Amino acid sequence: MRIGELAERAGTTTRTLRYYESRGLLAARRTGNGYRTYDEDDLRLLQQIRTLQDFGFELEETRPFVDCLRAGHPAGDSCPASIAVYRRKVAELDGLIAQLQAVRADMGARLLRAEAELPHGPEPRCELGAERDTEAAATTEGQQG
């Protein structure tokens, strides 16, 4: 298939495919007249790259998965280098989750403290809303008088 068809089937652009080619992630074959041609294996590579990028992988982090598929493995994550990338990414996610949990705990404590310090009277009104109410009342009084 030609580059336009591959881009359409993969849900990407021809520009992206050329970029992947320049980075060595996609290898185009050329016809006699110079057109790039691709096959179903190239589509599988692109689907692997896109799935990993949807997970938050940087483009270069997809390389071991692409290499694994090119080596003839049935899945891009069935090689030791791919598993190593998975391990590293899971560790990164664990770190981010821990950071988010710490921020959540701190924010929750601040919220409780702020709520405890609120005066027990009526909730304060927004000054902008109060000005609007005053203006509306003045306009109504002027129309009635």
pLDDT in tens, 82-102: 999 999 999 999 999 999 999
How does pLDDT run across 39-64, given as a tens digit for each residue?
999 999 999 999 999 999 999 999 99
pTM: 0.69
Enter the tokens of residue 29. 């074959």
Task: Provide mean pLDDT across the span 125-133.
Answer: 60
Residue 28 banded pLDDT, cuts 50, 70, 90:
confident
Enter the tokens of residue 63. 């390389």
Report the number of secondary-structure helices (H) and strands (E) in the chain: 6, 2
Quick check: 10 and 40 in contact, CB under 8 A?
no
Q: What is the pLDDT of residue 139?
A: 57
Q: What is the pLDDT of residue 116?
A: 86
Mean pLDDT of the chain: 87
What domains does the chain contain, in order, with CATH numbers? 3-109 (1.10.1660.10)
